Amino acid sequence: MNKKNSNNIGIVGTGFYVPKKILTNFDLEKIVDTTDEWIRTRTGIEERRIADDKEAASDLAAKAGAKALENANINPKDIDLLILATHFPDHYFPSTACITQHKLGLENAVCFDLSAACSGSIYSLFVAESLMKNSNYDTAMIIGTEIFSRTVDWKDRNTCVLFGDGAGAIIIKKGLKGKNIISFDFGSDGTGADLLKIPAGGSRLPTTNITIEQRQHFIKMEGKKVYKFANKMMVDSVIKALDKVDLTRKDIDLLIPHQANIRILKAVAKKLHLPLEKIMINLEKYGNTSAASIPIALDEAITQGKIKKGDIVVLTAFGAGLTWGAIVIRW
């Protein structure tokens, strides 16, 4: 990461959209063998949103993107680049980014999807920022959009209680003073690819009657292993990203982590010696919305007045792949 080149690209707008339908822990008690108490104490989640039958990933994305455009006061035609992160696109192809482009009227944007699971939105920011530095692209939108209610197994209490539907968008622009992205750290480790995945439906295991009968099209996860990985990698990545610009964990004003589990967030806070007030937490309302989680949390942090000019804001995520990363922003 080059300090000199990065400090002129910053955030100019954010927005998010979550479906209206709320599914509480008490509702889940009627679906699987679980309790509100187990879910709250083991994860911190109280409720999550569920998309309408007619809503696809691009519908949620377009609503979040429209709010970000309004918030940034930017004409759709001025967006040069759209990177969209999702684990469950509208179709295998075309990309959900292209479908969203059409819905938003981003007629001058180059559009593509990015697959990095729950790290998807910060990976997208990283890629967008890097592309902008090396091109004449001036303004980019990144969107994380997820419909988990169609990929979790509603018979599997280990996973269905964790996730929720939603979308979040961030717009970045060149030549901005303030809200600048000043550092990154990113990593991937494919040796952990089996820890969290949807086994069937791809070229490895195409859809057959058997894969459907075996419920192989739903998310499978080794929760404990993912938990350990998350605790370690988010902390390491935050420290590395800060170190690249001669900052330390003491400089963090607000940490916006991927909203997966309150116990993970508390463990990360402890390792970074941060009081909980310096951690953005909203997972009780939405559950884990994967690539949408950080843009949603960032937008809420801004509207709740948790960020002020000059603050050091750090975004960090982990996800299937395995993937992880951190981004440092000087607000």
Ligand X SMILES: CC(C)(COP(=O)(O)OP(=O)(O)OC[C@H]1O[C@@H](n2cnc3c(N)ncnc32)[C@H](O)[C@@H]1OP(=O)(O)O)[C@@H](O)C(=O)NCCC(=O)NCCS
Catalytic residue positions? Answer: 118, 258, 288
Residue from 72, 85, 99, 118 in contact with ligand X (CB under 6 A): 118
Q: How far is the CB of 32 from ligand X (least distance, A)?
A: 7
Residue from 34, 108, 151, 282 in contact with ligand X (CB under 6 A): 34
User: Residue with structure tokens 């330390």?
Assistant: 248
Q: Of the ranges 7-15, 37-45, 51-59, 308-316, which one interacts with ligand X (CB under 6 A)? A: 37-45
With contacts defined by CB under 6 A, how many residues of the chain interact with ligand X?
20
Residue from 6, 43, 145, 149 in contact with ligand X (CB under 6 A): 43
Q: How far is the CB of 228 from ligand X (least distance, A)?
A: 9
User: Does residue 105 contact residue 69 with C-beta atoms inside 8 Å?
Assistant: no
Q: How far is the CB of 34 from ligand X (least distance, A)?
A: 3
| Strand-pair category, 220-221 with 254-257 | unpaired
Binding of residue 226 to ligand X (CB under 6 A): yes
Binding of residue 227 to ligand X (CB under 6 A): yes
323 forms beta bridges with: 188, 319
Q: Of the ranges 38-46, 180-188, 199-207, 210-218, which one interacts with ligand X (CB under 6 A)? A: 38-46
Cα–Cα nearest to 42, from 264, 291, 219, 194: 264
Which segments within the chain are labelled E, that is strand? 9-17, 21-24, 47-50, 81-85, 110-114, 139-146, 166-174, 180-188, 196-197, 220-221, 254-257, 312-319, 323-330
Which lies closer to ligand X via its Cβ, residue 237 or residue 288?
288
Which lies closer to ligand X via its Cβ, residue 43 or residue 183?
43
User: Does residue 287 contact residue 163 with C-beta atoms inside 8 Å?
Assistant: yes
Binding of residue 260 to ligand X (CB under 6 A): yes
Binding of residue 331 to ligand X (CB under 6 A): no
Cα 17 from Cα 11, distance rounded (Å): 18
User: Does residue 195 contact residue 225 with C-beta atoms inside 8 Å?
Assistant: yes
User: Which residue, judged by CB position, is nearest to ligand X in the bound state?
Assistant: 223
CA dihedral angle for residue 172, residue 178, residue 181, residue 183, rounded to 10 degrees:
170
Residue from 103, 223, 245, 251 in contact with ligand X (CB under 6 A): 223
Which lies closer to ligand X via its Cβ, residue 180 or residue 259?
259
Which lies closer to ligand X via its Cβ, residue 52 or residue 156?
156
Cα–Cα nearest to 97, from 142, 52, 64: 142
| Strand-pair category, 110-114 with 139-146 | unpaired
Binding mask 134-163 for ligand X (x = CB under 6 A): -----------------------xx--x--
Cα 21 from Cα 49, distance rounded (Å): 6
Which lies closer to ligand X via its Cβ, residue 43 or residue 100?
43
Binding site for ligand X (CB under 6 A): 34, 38-39, 42-43, 118, 157-158, 161, 196, 221, 223-224, 226-227, 230, 260-261, 288, 319
